[in-house]
Structure 1
Amino acid sequence: MTCRSRLTLLGAGIFLPLAAHAANGGVNIAGIPLEFIVFAATLLGVAVFHHFSLWVALGGFATLSVYKIATVGFTTGLGVAGFIGHLHHEWVTVANLFCLLTGFAILARHFEKSHVPVILPKYLPDDWKGGFVLLVMVFFISSFLDNIAAALIGGAMAHQLFKAKVHVGYLAGIVAASNAGGSGSVVGDTTTTMMWIDGVSPLVVLDAYVAAVVALVIVGYFAAKQQHAYSPILKHSHAHTHVDWGRLFIVGVMLTFAVVTNVGANMLYTGMADSFPFIGVAVWLAIILTIPVRRHDWELLPETIKGSIFLLSLVMCASMMPVEQLPPASWMSALALGFISAVFDNIPLTALALKQGGYDWGVLAYAVGFGGSMLWFGSSAGVALTNMYPEGRSASQWLKQGWHVPVGYVVGFAVLMLTLGWHPDAPHDEPKPTPAPVALVQPAAS
């Protein structure tokens, strides 16, 4: 059976229940709302049909939209009017994410072309500790670059350092380090950026680093040992390579614009950040202003836009889920989401959690950020890195050789709970009451 035939069957399996039950209101199968089943089928289709992931995601969004319009409606109303209201409610989040995903792709390319990734390896130790320090570098890079970019930079450096012979366990270590580094930074991972856009404080997300550092030490030690036994480090001097400070300047400007704009919008007026995609527009304003400094790699945009539409389709699918029927937010559900994110994309899982509310966002950031490292297709960083190293596209080998990743995840989670505990945040996206106007007291007439 061809991929196209299997996609047709998958689509039929999703649409037929809708045709049978659309006129009878919401559908539940074994007590599970049909929205969740369609969403799970969409995520499964993305995992199985890699070459058709965009069309599977768009198909899932279209299916859910038709179903909600025809049956249960949206929180904003019934039918087409409710759908339009839902789109209006979500457009700021979607626009911000689109601008950030495309803008950060340009940012990552500038950092790569700054020659910093080429120069860094000459400072590494010659034994297994060199592989460990490289993973620490990936962790650090991912704290201010997208985790996909950090994983690719780490993979490129590993290709040079280990004569193109990279152990699968070390590939898992690179992905884990990139996801761990981005888990505590609102500019280091799409999931934490979503939290930031939704109103979660960057200081709250920072808690994730307590667990992420512990996981990095565990994974980094065993992965570096595996790599040293498989293919020892081979250093190059790169004595004639110089840093391109102009490109680093562009990276700094883009990050500064993003951070200052988001903080300023929330400080000036609580609801301002929810009314317009300020942070995404600020990133692209920085790109436009820095055009005279260095040429931007505009040729990245077609593929980046395609990937962004794919991710945003999943986010919109998640926005239509009846989250009031999910289990209540707790540290156990956060721990479980980490394991689930190893199989299903963590971006729609994060969107579900944000819609539901009641989580400790630092704990959740670590769980969904690092948890996807347990399988190669569990995170975008893993998918991107295995494009460079196809030998990593084996779930069994990834689990066998990268056994230290789930161990690091659980130990890191335990340390986070023992040190900071579970402290769910108050609803962060509810508007604060407007203070009553102060009446001016007129002086009494004499």
Structure 2
Amino acid sequence: MHWLDVVLISFAVLALLGVIFEEVTHINKAKVTLFFGTLSWLLLFISSGSSTETEAVSRGLAESISEIAGLWLFLVAAMTFVAYLNKKGMIENLIYLIMPKRIKENHLLLLTGLFCFIFSSLADNITATLVSCALILSLHLDRKKQIRFITLVVFAVNSGGVALITGDVTTLMIFLADKVEILTLLALSVPAACGVFLLALLLSRGMQGEVELVHDRNEVRGVDIAIAGLFLLTIVSTIVCNVLFQVPPVLMFLFGLSVMFLISRFYSHDSDLDPILEYIRTIEFETLLFFLGILLIVGMLKEIQALGSFVAIYEVLPPLVANYLMGMFSAIIDNVPLTAALLKAGIEMSPGEWLGLTYAVGVGGSLLVIGSAAGIVAMSKIPGLTFASYLRYSLWLLVAYTVGYAGVYVLGLFI
């Protein structure tokens, strides 16, 4: 192995360790991955021995940047919609609209899982988790019941995100790589929902009390309703136009974002006090920079042909088993770099098997509280939620994950 390959692979390992031990080092994972990602490509250019090698590296970088740009623009558009609706209280109003004033704890647990599942398909996992944490804290449950609620929230948020490209970045990455079709992804919501429902039943054992919800609705303006409707219309139009005319989702969402700007300008009377463009600044740019760094690193590994190890497990085990294990592995390793590496490795699978991988890497991170962004956010918001307290329900989480994955396998037989 060339000395440069050793150095670059070491950079990738250090970046991965920086992601895993972010809570220990207190260095944001976006800073670590962006540093090693850009440094790796700099070394590739500097160490090029000829103009032919330099041109090859340039083509590899251009390919990576093109993929990153499409992902970034889509996420910016989707996250701007969600940031606006969240700031205006539309999401909280939706919760209070569907939730009764008094309800049994086990029924509320099931409704919470259902809400998280649906909402995380439309919004990003972080927003869905933050809203759910606020709801749980307002119920004033005892510590043990709070942990049960948030365990379901983490699993439901991750499960709901796999069925739509707006809900999970790994789903979007696999779709943009032309491994699954958008209508097939919608069918994925059925087995994913079965896993959530099963976990809700397991966690609700022993919950017999009642809780009272304090309804505190925010004022809703006409422009807010119009933009909420536009967001849903954009999602539906993205699906329809992609199926009928192969319109890229990023183009449809950017068009929806432009219409959002125009609606705000001509509908709202306080455009100077509340400019719509300001909401672009409130989205999670740290998350976007993390994706940028990770995809640069994975692109570098592809450039030096170092992704063969990811293919090895698929040469030893059938895709059904390998995908299942990759889901469990994503509870330890962030699912974004894991998915990116698998896509770059050139693995050959059927559409049904790619669907299984989509579910596995999207939901598998729920098995450990540190395995997904939803779990990390929940740990920062819910007192008493620790690695150990979440681990108490690991068996139930594994059962729900396995049942959902089995459902995806059955679904794949009909594709």
Measured against the shorter chain, the TM-score band is 0.7 to 0.9
The 8 Å contact of residues 196 and 400 in structure 2, kept in 1 or not, is answered as: yes
- Identify the residue that residue 260 of structure 1 maps to in structure 2: 237
In the alignment, does 2:22 pair up with 1:49?
yes
**Equivalent residues, number:** 385
Deviation at 1:179, TM superposition (A): 0.7
1:397 to 378, 389, 400: 389
Maintained 8 Å contact 1:98/1:280: no
- Structure 2 counterpart of 1:247, from 224, 227, 234: 224
Question: Which residue number corresponds to residue 128 of structure 1?
Answer: 106
- Is 1:157 paired with 2:135? yes
Query: Structure 2 length normalisation: TM-score?
Result: 0.80
Q: Which residue in 1 is equivalent to 2:377?
A: 384
Tell me what 2:321 maps to: 332
**Residue 358 in 1 paired to residue 348 in 2?**
yes
CA shift digits 1:128-159 (9 cap, x unpaired): 11122111111111122222222222212212
2:257 corresponds to 1:284: yes
Q: 1:370-401 CA deviation, whole Å, 9 max, x = no partner?
A: 11111222112222222222532x32222114
Does structure 1 residue 216 correspond to structure 2 residue 196?
yes
Q: Which residue of 2 aligns with 1:84?
A: 58
Q: If each structure's helix is expressed as a fraction of its own residues, which one has the higher value? A: 2
Ranges in structure 1 where 5+ consecutive residues have no aligned partner: 1-16, 28-33, 426-446
Superposed CA RMSD in Å reads: 3.3
Q: Which residue of the partner structure matches residue 437 of structure 1?
A: none
- Secondary structure of the residue that 1:142 maps to in structure 2? helix
Which 5+ residue runs of structure 2 have no aligned equivalent?
A: 269-273
Amino acid at match of 1:358: E
Provide the C-alpha distance between the structure 1 equivalents of 2:124 and 2:380, rounded to a whole number of angstroms.
17
| 1:365 to partner: Cα distance | 1.6
Alpha-carbon offset, residue 242 of structure 1: 6.2
Deviation at 1:79, TM superposition (A): 4.3
Determine the C-alpha separation between the residues in 2 that align with 1:379 and 1:324: 25
Matches within 5 A, 1:47-126: 47-50=20-23, 51-52=26-27, 53-66=29-42, 68-69=44-45, 79-112=53-86, 113-114=89-90, 115-122=93-100, 125-126=103-104
Distance 1:241 1:88, change over 3 A: closer
CA distance in 1, matches of 2:319, 2:96: 43
Q: Larger deviation: 367-376 or 95-104? A: 95-104
The alignment status of 1:410 with 2:387, answered yes or no, reads: no
Residue 320 of structure 1 pairs with residue 300 of structure 2: yes
The residue that corresponds to 2:154 in the other structure is 175
**3-state SS, counterpart of residue 388 of structure 2:** helix
CA distance in 1, matches of 2:8, 2:199: 37
Select the structure of larger CA radius of gyration. 1
Tell me by how many angstroms 1:93 deviates.
2.6
**Matches of 1:169 and 1:411 in 2, distance apart?**
19
Q: Which amino acid aligns with 2:100?
A: K
Amino acid at match of 1:86: G
Give, in whole Å, the separation in 1 of the partners of 2:31 and 2:128.
27
Q: Specify whether residues 79 and 203 from structure 1 end up closer, same or farther in structure 2 by C-alpha distance, changes over 3 A only.
A: same
Distance change (3 Å), C-alpha of 1:72 and 1:173: farther
Distance 1:303 1:253, change over 3 A: closer
Q: Amino acid of the residue matched to residue 368 of structure 1?
A: V
Deviation at 1:280, TM superposition (A): 5.2
Alpha-carbon distance in structure 1 between the residues aligned to 2:67 and 2:368: 28
For residues 266 and 209 of structure 1, what CA distance do their matches in structure 2 show?
18
What fraction of aligned residue pairs are identical, expressed as a percent?
Answer: 22
Cα contact 2:328–2:365 (8 A) shared by 1: yes
